[in-house]
Amino acid sequence: MMAGLSQLGRFSEPGLLIMVALAGGPKHGYAMQDDIAAMTDERPGPGTLYGAIRRLEEQAYIEALAEEGRRKPYRLTDLGRTVLAAELQRMRAVSRTGLRRLATS
Amino acid sequence: MRPPAWLVRATFAVYPEDVRDRYGVEIADLLDGSPRPWRDLGDVAWNAVLERVGTVRYGRLRPYRRQMLALVTFPAVFWVALLILLPTVAFGTLAVGGLVTRGRFGLGPDVSFAAFIPGGLVTIGFVAFVATQNARRWVDSLDVPAPAFLVPTLLGLGCLGVGILPPTVLPYFGGWATVPCWWLMVLVLSARYRTLIRHGRTGAARGLAVVGTPAVLAVTATVHLTTTLFPGEMLFWPMSLMSVLVVCTPFTFAILSAVTPECPRSARPPASRADGP
C-alpha cells in the first residue's frame, strides 16, 4: 500500500511543495526555493528544504542527479509521481467539497 | 550583515555527521546566497537540532537505560560531594588560619569570604579533576548512542533536577534557568569536539575543550548571576548550581574523549568532505 506524504510528519507540506516544484522537471535547491516562493509567497529556509529533501529521498519519491558544480539537481521518481498525483487528487476532492459547502451555507 | 563564519560552522556542527556529509555543501550554498541569512541560519540551526534529536530513538536507547540513569544522576553526586567538601574545606581553612595566627584569623565577613571563595574554587577543581580522571574508568557504564547529544542532555537534565530543588534545601541554589544556556553551548562544542577526535585531530579537540570550558563557564556564570543576584550570592557562589555545571563541563569532554574512536588523519580519504562547510 502506498504510504503517502502524511508520514513525512512536519515535512509533509514542504515535501509536497518540493514535489510540485520538481513536477516541472529536475531542479537544484536554489531553483526549488524560487519556485516554492513563487507558489506560496514564502521562501523555505535551507534547513527545512533539505530536511524535506532528505525524507523524500529516503522514501524514494525523489532522487539526486549528477552534481552541477556545487549544486545537485533532484528529480521526481516514478513512485514520487504516483504519490504526488494521488495527493493532489485527494486535495482536489477535499477542496471541491469544502468550497461547495461554503457556497451553499 | 551576514552571520560570522564561526557561527555558521558551529551551527553545521550540530547536524548528525551523515546528514552534514550528504547535504552540508548544498545547505551552505543556499545560506551563502540567502537574501535573509540570519533568518535562514535560524532555520538551519532549528532543523539541525531536530535532526540531532531524530537520531535518538527510544527503541535504540532501551538497552542503555542504566547508563542514561547514571548520567542523569552524576550532577546530584557532584552536588553532594561539593556540599560535603565545601564547608569542610572552608571551616578547615578557618581553623588552620586561627591556629597559625593564634586567633587573629577568625570568623568575619572579609575572612569568611577569603576562606570560602578560594577554598571553594580549589574544591570544585578537585571534584572536576576526580570526575574527569575517572570518566575513562567509568566509560563502560557511561557509553550511550549519539553521545555528543545525549551526554550533555542527560547531565543537563540532572543539573535541572538539582537546580529545581525547593529553596528551603539550599537558599542560594536558584538559577536553574542557567542550565538551558549551558546545555546549548556544550551541545555545540560536544558535536565539534567529537568530530575533531573522529578525524584524528585530537590536538584541536583538546584546544577546543581548553578554550570552550572557560567560555561556557563565563557565559553561564553571567546568566546565572544576572538571574539570581542578591547580596549573599557571591559569597555562596561555590554552593550554587554553577559549581555543578563547572564540574559537568570538563566531565562531558572527558566522557566524549573516552567513548569516541579516533580515526588517524592518514586513514581518511583525501577528498573527504566530512568536516562539512
Residue matched to cell numbers 532549528: B46
Which candidate in B21, B29, B53, B273 is best for mutational testing of the A interface (most A CBs within 10 A)?
B29
pLDDT at position A71 over 60: yes
pLDDT at position B137 over 70: yes
pLDDT at position A103 over 60: yes
User: What residue of A is the nearest CA neighbor of B19?
Assistant: A54
Measured distance CA(B98)–CA(A99) in Å, rounded: 88
Is A6 within a domain? Answer: no
The whole-number pLDDT of residue B274 equals 40
pLDDT at position A17 over 60: yes
Say yes or no: B271 contacts chain A, CB-CB below 8 A: no
Residue numbers of the domain that contains A96: 11-104
**Between B23, B29, B34, which is nearest A70 by CB?**
B29
pLDDT at position B230 over 90: no
Burial of A48 (0-12, 13-18, 19+ CB in 10 A): buried
Helix (H, G, I), strand (E, B), or coil: what is residue A79? helix
pLDDT at position B129 over 70: yes
The whole-number pLDDT of residue A43 equals 92
With a pLDDT cut of 90, the percent of chain B lying above it is: 13
Lowest mean pLDDT among A2-6, B93-97, B218-222: A2-6
Burial of B232 (0-12, 13-18, 19+ CB in 10 A): exposed
pLDDT at position B176 over 70: no
pLDDT at position A92 over 50: yes
The residue among B70 and A84 whose pLDDT is bigger is: A84
Is A1 within a domain? Answer: no
User: What residue of A is the nearest CA neighbor of B50?
Assistant: A51
In the stretch 134-153 of chain B, residues with CB closer than 8 A to chain A read none
Say yes or no: B71 contacts chain A, CB-CB below 8 A: no
- What's A42's DSSP letter? -
Mean pLDDT over A77-103 rounds to: 93
Counting the structural domains of chain A, the total is 1
Sign for the pseudo-dihedral over CA of B221, B227, B231, B237: negative
Chain A residues within 8 A of B47 when measuring between CB atoms? 45, 47-48, 50-51
- Give residue ranges of A with CB < 8 Å to any B CB: 28-30, 33, 43-51, 53-54, 70-72
Mean pLDDT over B197-226 rounds to: 86
pLDDT at position B272 over 80: no
Chain B residues within 8 A of A53 when measuring between CB atoms? 23
Q: How confident is the model at residue B82 (pLDDT cuts 50, 70, 90)?
A: confident
User: What residue of B is the nearest CA neighbor of A32?
Assistant: B30
Chain B residues within 8 A of A45 when measuring between CB atoms? 39-40, 42-44, 47
> A2, A82 in Cβ contact below 8 A?
yes
Cβ–Cβ below 8 Å for B45 and A30: no
Chain A residues within 8 A of B44 when measuring between CB atoms? 45-47
pTM: 0.58
C-alpha cell recorded at residue A58: 529516503
Say yes or no: B43 contacts chain A, CB-CB below 8 A: yes
Q: How confident is the model at residue B269 (pLDDT cuts 50, 70, 90)?
A: very low
Tell me the residue type at A101. R
With a pLDDT cut of 70, the percent of chain B lying above it is: 74
pLDDT digits (tens, 9 = 90+) for A18-58: 999 999 999 999 999 999 999 999 999 999 999 999 999 99
The whole-number pLDDT of residue B124 equals 83
Q: How far is A93 from chain B (nearest CA, A)?
A: 32
3-state secondary structure chain B: CCCCHHHHHHHHHHCCHHHHHHHHHHHHHHHHCCCCHHHHHHHHHHHHHHHHHHCCCHHHHHHHHHHHHHHHHHHHHHHHHHHHHHHHHHHHHHHHHHHHCCCCCCCCHHHHHHHHHHHHHHHHHHHHHHHHHHHCCCHHHHCCCCHHHHHHHHHHHHHHHHHCCCCCCCCCCCCCCHHHHHHHHHHHHHHHHHHHHHCCCHHHHHHHHHHHHHHHHHHHHHHHHHHHCCCCCCCCHHHCHHHHHHHHHHHHHHHHHHHCCCCCHHHCCCCCCCCCC
CATH of the domain at A36: 1.10.10.10
> B159, B225 in Cβ contact below 8 A?
no
* DSSP run (H or E) holding A101: helix A78-104
Q: How far is A82 from chain B (nearest CA, A)?
A: 26
Say yes or no: B44 contacts chain A, CB-CB below 8 A: yes
Q: How far is A104 from chain B (nearest CA, A)?
A: 42
Distances (CA, A) of B106 to B99, B110, B226: 9, 10, 31
Question: What is chain A's mean pLDDT, rounded?
Answer: 90
The residue among B179 and B273 whose pLDDT is bigger is: B179
Enter the ipTM: 0.88
Cβ–Cβ below 8 Å for A47 and B44: yes
pLDDT digits (tens, 9 = 90+) for B18-43: 898 899 999 999 999 899 999 999 99
Is A5 within a domain? Answer: no
